[in-house]
Chains A and B, each alone.
Chain A
Amino acid sequence: MSEAGFGFEERELRTSPELAERAALLASRGLTIPEGEGLVLGLYQSERLVATGALVRNVLQGIAVDAGFEGEGAAAAIVSSLIKRAIERNIEQLFLFTTNEEAPRFESLGFSLIAGVPRGAALLEWGSEGIARYLDELRGVARGKPRRAGAVVVNCNPFTRGHRTLIEYAAAHSPWLYVLVVEEDRSLFPFEVRLRLIREGTADLPNVTVIAGGPYIISSATFPTYFIRPDREEAARKAVRMHAALDLVTFRTRIAQALGVARRFVGTEPFCDTTSVYNATMKAVLPATEAPETDAWGLEPGIPPIEVVEIPRFEIDGEAVSASKVRDLIREGRFSEVERLVPPTTWAWLSGPEATSVLEKIRHSDSRH
């Protein structure tokens, strides 16, 4: 227990009664409990919880102040404490997702807005290695390469023939192609491996550059949903739409501009609801050039549009070739059936010694990722 500021006592919340009080405070502000293990802090005044916030890896979540204590510095106190704890753990860059309407509160506490969607979600960051540096790196990569390039955003968990088909098609239809790899490491195949298999599997394509996506490609694994009101069955779709809109606005306003990207290629997924909602949002956000569409997404007029090209999923014997299919086969012990679904470079790695520990993890997992 320690003094966080005038009149507030700071505590780490761990016990059931403490967390229950926290859940009640969150609920009173229209928030649900953030997922993920992390540090949860609470500020008390006279034994009453007046503010809370959590640090989950490098993302600040679930920051809420009791309605009766607004304007008394509690938000600043809790955010300071979370930042200090993060610094103690050598986490020098912090992120925060919130509603677009709440973003200015955090901007006044030193967070920079990466992107925000009106009536939707916003992404902010704090700390040393910010977006300016990342975009400079991208501009460096794009220097000397053709403008009006294509882009593909992939996870590749692992790199399959389905991915190869998409990238091959995109490269054949673009003066240059950037393959952006989702970096969030919640996937069973570690990021470094995924990146390597993509590079090896596309090494023969002369106009392709494979780039780490950085923290600004927002994977669905990272996007928190605790600030989205769960109203009945619509909640899941709403979460996907909010995530998609934020990710796509960030892509269009920041990443695509730095790379000179004019087209984005994506595979259709007729049986995956999440992907079809995501792709539908993509077709609404990326090519929009006029009001009222641009206003709805918070886009400045004059920002270059991005064409969306959807290509059919690569199939073998009528079945889509997907990374999740590959992981399922590994989990079921049908390893030999994987070979025809992946390029030789991926198969060589899977059959090699480095893959052993990853394959073990997959066999024992029940994770979707």
Chain B
Amino acid sequence: MKAQKSVTAGSLESSDVLITITPLAEARVEYVIDSIVIKQFGARIRQVTEEMAIASNISAARIHVQDRGALECTLRARLETALERSAAC
């Protein structure tokens, strides 16, 4: 499902994560991961993000994750919300 519009979920507050999904012209998915703990958790954040994006069938999207030290369950919750908002027409 192509990303139709720009959406966000979450926030930049401590222990939260801000997800921004914006449409891309090309039919691919681009991941941009920023984290205040990028060295320790960057790879894991990317893995979870890719896993959920693939499962949602999203395409033509740029998924920007700005992590502020969120627990994995928080990241998953925010991603789920953002992906659902992105798919809603």
Contacts and interface: CB of A to CB of B under 8 A. Distances in A.
Interface of A: 4-6, 73, 76-77, 79-81, 83-84, 87-88, 90, 92, 108-110, 128
B13 A83 contact: no
Given A76-B68, A110-B34, A128-B62, A92 B11 contact: no
B49 interface: no
A88 B6 contact: yes
Nearest to A6: B13
Contacts of B14: 73, 76
Given A87-B20, A110-B66, A128-B62, A76 B7 contact: no
B51 to A, nearest CB: 23
Nearest to B68: A76
Interface string B1-31: 0000111101111101010101000000000
A80 B5 CA distance: 18
A109 B8 contact: no
A303 B63 CA distance: 35
19 contacts: A4-B11, A5-B16, A73-B13, A73-B14, A76-B11, A76-B68, A77-B11, A77-B12, A79-B12, A80-B10, A80-B12, A81-B11, A83-B20, A84-B8, A84-B11, A87-B6, A87-B22, A109-B12, A128-B62
A87 B12 contact: no
Contacts of A81: 11
Given A76-B13, A83-B8, 16 more contacts: A5-B11, A73-B13, A73-B14, A76-B14, A77-B11, A80-B10, A80-B13, A80-B18, A88-B6, A88-B8, A90-B5, A92-B6, A92-B22, A110-B12, A110-B66, A128-B62
Interface centre among A6, A73, A90, A108 (most CB of B within 10 A): A73
A128 B64 CA distance: 9
A6 B14 CA distance: 11
Given A4-B11, A77-B11, A110-B12, A83 B22 contact: no
Contacts of A87: 6-8, 20, 22
Contacts of A76: 11-14, 68
B5 A83 contact: no
A79 B6 CA distance: 17
Contacts of B36: 108
A129 B20 CA distance: 14
A81 B8 CA distance: 10
A77 B62 CA distance: 23
Interface string B43-69: 000000000000000000010101010
Nearest to A112: B34
A87 B62 CA distance: 13
Contacts of B12: 76-77, 79-80, 83, 109-110
Contacts of B5: 90
A83 B21 CA distance: 12
Contacts of B20: 83, 87
Contacts of A80: 10-13, 18
Nearest to A110: B66
Contacts of A79: 12
Contacts of B16: 5
A5 B13 contact: yes
Contacts of A73: 13-14
Nearest to A5: B13
Nearest to B36: A108
B18 A83 contact: yes
A241 to B, nearest CB: 33
A88 B86 CA distance: 11
Nearest to B20: A87
